[in-house]
Amino acid sequence: KFDEENGANSAPQVQTKTTMTSNENNKNNGTTASNTTQPPSLFCSIGSPETSLSNETVQQKVNEFLSALGPRRDVLILPPDFTRFHSQAGMITRFVSEYYNFTKPENPTTSTANTAAAAASSSPSPPASVPKLQIIPALGTHAPMTHSQIDLMFGKELASKTNDPDVENPFVVHNWRDDVVTIGYAPATMVSEATYGMVHEPWPAQLNKLVWERRKDNHDASSSDLPPLVLSIGQVVPHEVMGMANFNKNLFVGVGGVEAINLSHFIGAVHGMEKLMGRGQNPLRSILNYASETFLQTNLDLWYILTVMGTNDKTGEVEIKGLYIGRDEECYNLACDLSLKVNFNLLEKSPKKMVVYLNEEYHSTWLGNKSIYRTRMAIDDGGELVVLAPSVEMFGEDGHIDELIRKVGYVGTPKIMEEMGKDEDLKNNLSAVA
């Protein structure tokens, strides 16, 4: 039931262009930039429904990108949490850590292959000095990652540093209630448009304090080093609140604060999931884009490394269909175009009954409700949805939101709006209402 003409963006074809590097041509129709101290805003764009990127190719492209950026003393990485385990963001985070010699290569064979590939493309060697490196998983409202999840997602070398008494733990747990600062506001007119006039107040752009500390004007201008580097890593995939996940959502929601997350979730719910899912451009994303262009691009040396994952038609395995590296909306738009092609199943008719199985990643209804979001545009009116969820053990990821959901229940839009009008606690926790 998805109208492809109103999809992620208006571009009719997936683009597979990138800036050329030396004399190298990539078999997947993508290349990367030459060795400059400041790479072009779109450094890498590789992707098509037929593309299957190997881990070695991804590591080579990441290494070339980091080489083009030049040496850094301070690197902050913002990957997703375990709920995006299959995004390969954990692997890419590991590649960044290995490039900067923060951790030893977990796969020596891959490392050797990439060293040879880097030499063949005239890429400079990785830096001799090890920068300060921190990783803040973009939890949003989710529960903190466990040690075993960090091990599975980011590898044993990085996981071992979480309990090494001789080194500072590189992983920082984001607390969406206490660890944030408001850096500016998107206009109330944008919020009013997105909520059909229901809410007329500015949207607060909030970030984890450690991210905002990396802004350029905090950097010693007399130093010859480049400013702190912020890398936002993740997967672009259809999303029930944002239309498409990741890009600046990774910052303003993933490491954002209570007010911003509550209002953004509420805006998404009021605007309507059917008008958002799979659409890269929508009123809520416009709010985030405004905040990103106004506050982030001018203040942070911020780059995005985005993947698009899809299923191999022959093997049934999930693989990397696209890799996009850039610092502005262009790389996100290209990733959206590809995601629309590989992450939607368009059915000839609406099923009367659908069955969804939720694996161990889904331990709450907050996450497990994706079983509804991702089938409701296909299932027949009056149809039946069966959800098998053996790992679900709570409602909300956040303790207080869990309490509110237990208090009110899943009762439908009219009833929950009525309850919100009577309950100040609900009014102050709009993400629970959503």
In whole angstroms, what separates CA 404 from the centre of its chain? 27
Cα–Cα nearest to 373, from 234, 247, 242: 242
Cβ neighbours of residue 366 under 8 Å, at least 6 residues apart? Answer: 141, 142, 394, 395, 396, 397, 401
Distance CA 80, CA 16 (A): 25
In whole angstroms, what separates CA 111 from the centre of its chain? 26
Give me the helix-helix angle, 108-120 and 55-69, nearest 10°: 50
Distance CA 23, CA 36 (A): 15
Beta bridge partners of 302: 230
Stretches in the chain below the pLDDT threshold 50: 1-36, 109, 111-123
Cα–Cα nearest to 236, from 176, 118, 320, 136: 320
Residue type, 95: F
Two structure tokens written together for 352:
């009367």
Q: What's the half-sphere exposure (Cβ side, CA atoms, 13 Å) at 365? A: 12
Other CB atoms closer than 10 Å to residue 49's CB: what's the count? Answer: 13
The pLDDT of residue 332 is 97
The pLDDT of residue 240 is 86
Give me the helix-helix angle, 89-99 and 147-154, nearest 10°: 80
Distance CA 248, CA 142 (A): 18
The pLDDT of residue 186 is 96
Q: What's the half-sphere exposure (Cβ side, CA atoms, 13 Å) at 40? A: 16
Other CB atoms closer than 10 Å to residue 344's CB: what's the count? Answer: 18
Kindly report the CA angle at 10 between 9 and 11, in degrees rounded to 5? Answer: 95
Q: Are strands 229-235 and 243-244 parallel, antiparallel or unpaired?
A: unpaired
In the chain, what is the straight-line distance between the N-terminal and C-terminal CA atoms, in Å?
Answer: 23
Cα–Cα nearest to 364, from 401, 404, 391: 391
State the DSSP string of 304-358: EEEEEEEE-TTT--EEEEEEEEESSHHHHHHHHHHHHHHS----SS--SEEEEE-
Contact 362, 370 (CB under 8 A): yes
- Phi, psi angle pair for 75, to nearest 5°: -130, 125
